[in-house]
Chains A and B, each alone.
Chain A
Amino acid sequence: MNRLTREQMAARVAQDIPEGAYVNLGIGLPTMVANHLPADREIILQSENGVLGMGPAPAEGEEDWELINAGKQAVTLLTGGAFFHHADSFAMMRGGHIDICVLGAFQVSVRGDIANWHTGEPDAIPAVGGAMDLAIGAKQTFVMMELLTKQGASKLVESCTYPLTGLACVSRVYTDLAVFEVGANGASVVELVDGMSITELESLTGLALTECNRQTPTELKLDARASA
C-alpha cells in the first residue's frame, strides 16, 4: 500500500485549489500546501492576523517580525498584497469572502463536523484562536490529516468525541490513505492510494463508505472573476 507522505498529502490538496482562489491555510500541516501550489495559478493566501497576498518565508536574516503569519512565523508580502485589521480579516472569513480554508483536525465526522481546538482533558489549558471562525467561514473547508491516530483509531468518525470546533462545515477530507467527501449524505470516497480498497477502508474506519464519482471538489463559485 502506498501511504502518502505529508508532502504528498500537501501536494494532493494543492491540486484541488483553482486559479484565482483566495485561500487560508491553517497552522500546522496545512501550511505545507503553500509549497505545492502550481506556479501557473495565481492563488492568493490570506493569513487571519491581517495579510492578503502572503508570500514565502524570507531568507534567514531578512525577517521582519512585524510581518508574520498566524503561526507567528516571519513571512513576506507579494506584490499586490495588503494589510488590514482583525475585524476586517475575520469579516473576510466569516463573511464568506475566502474561497477555501484548509485545516488540520483531531476528528471529522461523516456529516462534516470538525473537532480541532481542544482535547477536552480536564488539565488542558484551552486555546481556540481563529479555529472556530475559520471552520465555518470559508465557502469550502478542507481538512488535511492522517486518517488514523498513532493508536490506529480512525479520525474520520460517525460522530466527534472531542469538543467541536464547527458543525457541518467540512466538505473534503484529504488523508494519507484516501480523499473523502463528507456532508449531509455521509462520507464517500473520492480516491484511494494504490493498494487500498474501499472494503479495507471500511474496516479501518468502521464506517459505511460509498464511492464518489465526483473527482473534483464542488465547483467554486468564483462568480464575477470567472470571466476575467
Chain B
Amino acid sequence: MIDKSMETVAAAVADIFDGASVMIGGFGTAGMPDQLIDALIDREVGNLTIINNNAGNGENGVAALIKAGRVRKIICSFPRQADSHHFDAAYRAGEIELELVPQGNLAARIQAAGAGLGAIFTPTGFGTLLAEGKETRNIEGRDYVLEYPIRADFALIKAHKGDRWGNLVYRKTARNFGPIMAMAATTAIVQVSQIVPLGELDPECIVTPGVFVQRLVEVQPTTVSIA
C-alpha cells in the first residue's frame, strides 16, 4: 500500500543534508510552508541553496532560516522588501550569494526541470543586465535568452488538502510555486491542513497529481499574517 503521509514534520525533513538545494514554495507568506521550514531549522544543517520567490519576510520562514545562518545561496526574483532585513544584512555582510532571476523565468526554469527539458529560450530579460553573457537566439524575428532548468534535492510546499497517494489541492493564491516545485525536486515534501481519505479529492480538481509528491504531513493551520 502506498502511504506517503508522515507522522511529524521532523520526520518529513529528516534527510535534508548539509549543502542541499531546497525549493521553498510561497509568494511572500502566502503558501509559505512555515512548519516544514521550522523543522528544517531544527535539523541544524547549513550551506543550503534556497530557491524561493523572495528572500524572507519578517522573522519567520525563509527569514528565520537566513537569520540562523543556514543559507549559502538564494535563487529568487524579489529579495528586497520592506521586511527583508535578515536577508539584507546577510547580503551586505557578504554571507549570502544571490542569483536574481526574473519571476517568470524562475517559474519557467523550475517547470523546465520538472518537465525534463534541457533548457528554454525565453524573451524575458533579453538585452538587460540579467541576460549579460548568456547565449541568445533570434527565432522567427523575436530575441530570446537561453536559460537552464533549476532543479533541487528537496522542495518544501504548503498545500490545502492531500491524500496518501500525494494528490494535492491548494488554497487560493497560496498555490503559486507549489505545483511546479513539486515537479522539479527529487523529494517533494508537503505540509497540508488535512490529509483526506483516498478518493475524497475530486479527480477533476486535483492540481498536483501524487506522482510529483514523495511525502506529506498534516499540520495545524497557522494564522497567516500580512507579508
Contacts and interface: CB of A to CB of B under 8 A. Distances in A.
B126 A167 contact: yes
B224 A48 contact: no
Given A65-B29, A66-B171, A72-B227, A90 B80 contact: no
Choose among A86, A125, A130, A163 the residue with the greatest number of B CB atoms under 10 Å from its CB.
Answer: A86
A23 interface: no
Contacts of A72: 27-30, 226-227
Interface in B144-162: none
A182 interface: no
B103 A129 contact: yes
B172 A66 contact: yes
Contacts, number: 146
B176 A50 contact: yes
Interface stretch (A14-22, A99-107, A132-140, A187-195): A132-140
B107 interface: yes
A64 interface: yes
B78 interface: yes
Contact of B176 (A49, A65, A133, A163): A49
Given A68-B173, A85-B177, A132 B102 contact: yes
A127 B175 contact: no
**Interface range, A side:** 35 or more
Contact of A48 (B31, B80, B103, B227): B103
Choose among A50, A87, A125, A165 the residue with the greatest number of B CB atoms under 10 Å from its CB.
Answer: A87
**Interface range, B side:** 35 or more
A165 B101 CA distance: 12
Interface string A56-69: 00000001111110
A217 interface: no
A84 B175 CA distance: 7
Contact of B30 (A68, A93, A167): A68
Contacts of B125: 132
Contact of A85 (B80, B124, B128, B176): B176
Interface string A65-89: 1111000101001000001111101
A89 B125 CA distance: 17
Contacts of B111: 87
Nearest to B227: A72
5 contacts: A66-B224, A67-B30, A67-B173, A87-B107, A128-B103
Interface of A: 47-51, 63-68, 72, 74, 77, 83-87, 89-90, 93-94, 118, 125-133, 136-137, 163-167
Given A66-B31, A86-B177, 8 more contacts: A72-B27, A84-B175, A85-B178, A85-B179, A86-B106, A126-B98, A127-B78, A167-B143
